[in-house]
Structure 1
Amino acid sequence: MKLRFLGTGDSAQVPVYNCDCLACTRAQQDPSWYRRPCSAVIECGDQRWLIDSGRMDLTELFPPGSLNGILQTHYHADHAQGLLHLRWGVNCRIPVYGPEDEKGFADLFKHSGILDFSATWSAFEQRQLGAMQVTAIPLQHSKPCLGYVFSHEGKHIAYLTDTVGLPPESLAYLQTVALDYCIVDCSHPPQDTPPRNHNDLNMALAIGQQLTVKHLVLTHISHKVDTWLMENPETLSDSILLAKDNGMIAV
């Protein structure tokens, strides 16, 4: 399995409009530090699936026939806005799997075009996508939200964003899996008060400590997290990775 990050930012992305903080200045000077809408592509055998669709250039990134489908974590704008354009394609059908959400995003469900939203996922449901098994993991967010565990030949990658901590049943399930990589939401630097809807760095690291995981990977990163890590460069151990746009992990 190979997973490539298409975007690793929060809803404001990096650089943030009109911001001159350390992280935004770095990204303006070095585009390799850009953080676009949080999303990824996972490949296994003949399968290639997009994880979230917040990028607005999906029709350029994925020519017809290059995707088997899309796995949505949820339907907030920064994770789904690219579907508004993609849906108006012709002469093809793209399955979009995600949580059951009556409201969805904008009018996507009413005017779905080439997108097929009919096969929603339930908590801990498992599906076989070619040689890859995928398990839906309930997350804690302000909209119905799922993470996913991707498994193939005894290797496992967890993708867990957007969330603030983990529901007890999801933590219990993940504790039964020896993860090669666990990709987690890290939207805030360490905070004295509990964050809402997204992990701060302390909560993200705590998730890793509660699981059996070789590498914890931080994503959904804000400019404030980037700035804090620039000011505290010795914080992350070698087993903790900071995701970057276009970066890849493989097992």
Structure 2
Amino acid sequence: MRVSGDTLTFLGTGDAMGVPRVYCDCEVCTEARNTGVNRRLRSSVMVECGEASFMIDCGPDWRFMMERLGKRKMRDMLITHAHFDHIGGLPEWSDACRWLGEKGRLYAPADVLEQIVRQYPWLPRQMEMTAVDDGITLGGWEISCWKVNHGKNGYSYAYRLQKGEYTWVYNSDSINLSPAEKEPLKGLDLLVLGTSFVHETAIFESRSVYDMKEAAQLLSEVNPRQTIYTHMSHDVDVRKELPLPERVSVAMTGMTVDLSK
């Protein structure tokens, strides 16, 4: 069964600092400032399903993403976790909702909503907040979530989305998943997976996201039909050959993927 017309667009593909990093003059950051092939906003995606659309995560680059898209409003937003690079744009979204006179609809696990309100206590005035712990449906997609290990940074959530015979997962921030955390990654048509480095040399206890070498091992276990890496730091130079297994590619800003068999 084809999921007619549904698409996934990568609005941002960078890690928490984005690329270029303000303080850095490395080869990748320098290129990102000039030709811009490696320029990456904080990770976020948009799902379009006919006339409906929703985004996953709302980092501090949200306003720029909306301007680039030419969109004036976004009603529905899923959040993976309450780190700044994933929620830093919520105050601007709230302000846009206020001026448009339409409440936004914010979806996240209950504990994430609590963390968001602690940081931005005025948001509920402009947003309807819905806990997704028991699952929700957006644009015809049946969506479930589960907690995933985020290493030194605690935990995040991954989202599994299914419509008809097509199933995909968005998992931007995770590392060293347990067998139980890997289980929902099996049987996928598409896995969007965060890989901040090609090979990260920092001590493991200080890390929070898979690198590409570790991701390859994970993929050999869960075997998705297609994988796209996102949440990439300035360690990743897309101009060079990367250690990508078969059926794996890297996300580029503005890249659109057909969500169908």
Question: Do structure 1's residue 151 and structure 2's residue 189 form an aligned pair?
Answer: no
Deviation at 1:44, TM superposition (A): 2.2
Deviations 1:137-161 (A, max 9, x none): 3211235521111212211221101
Question: Do structure 1's residue 121 and structure 2's residue 132 form an aligned pair?
Answer: yes
Count how many residue pairs are aligned between Structure 1 and Structure 2. Answer: 241
Where does residue 166 of structure 1 map in the other structure?
177
Question: Do structure 1's residue 31 and structure 2's residue 42 form an aligned pair?
Answer: no
Question: Do structure 1's residue 207 and structure 2's residue 214 form an aligned pair?
Answer: no
Q: Which runs of 5+ in 2 are unaligned?
A: 1-5
Deviations 1:174-212 (A, max 9, x none): 22xx21211111112324543622112222222211113
Residue among 244, 248, 251 paired with 2:256: 248
Residue among 188, 195, 198 paired with 2:197: 188
Identity of aligned residues (%): 24
Deviates more, 1:213-222 or 1:96-105: 96-105
Alignment TM-score, normalising by the size of structure 2: 0.83
Larger helix percent: 2
Where does residue 132 of structure 1 map in the other structure?
141
Question: Do structure 1's residue 237 and structure 2's residue 245 form an aligned pair?
Answer: yes
Kept in 1, the 8 Å contact 2:213–2:243? The answer is no
Deviation at 1:230, TM superposition (A): 5.4
CA RMSD of aligned residues (A): 2.2
Q: Which runs of 5+ in 1 are unaligned?
A: none
Letter in 2 for 1:108: Y
Kept in 1, the 8 Å contact 2:198–2:236? The answer is yes
Letter in 2 for 1:189: V
| Gap change, CA 1:151 and 1:68, over 3 Å in 2 | farther
Residue among 100, 104, 107 paired with 1:94: 104
Q: Secondary structure at the match of 1:135?
A: strand
Kept in 2, the 8 Å contact 1:182–1:208? The answer is no
Kept in 1, the 8 Å contact 2:46–2:53? The answer is yes
Where does residue 74 of structure 1 map in the other structure?
81
Kept in 2, the 8 Å contact 1:37–1:78? The answer is yes
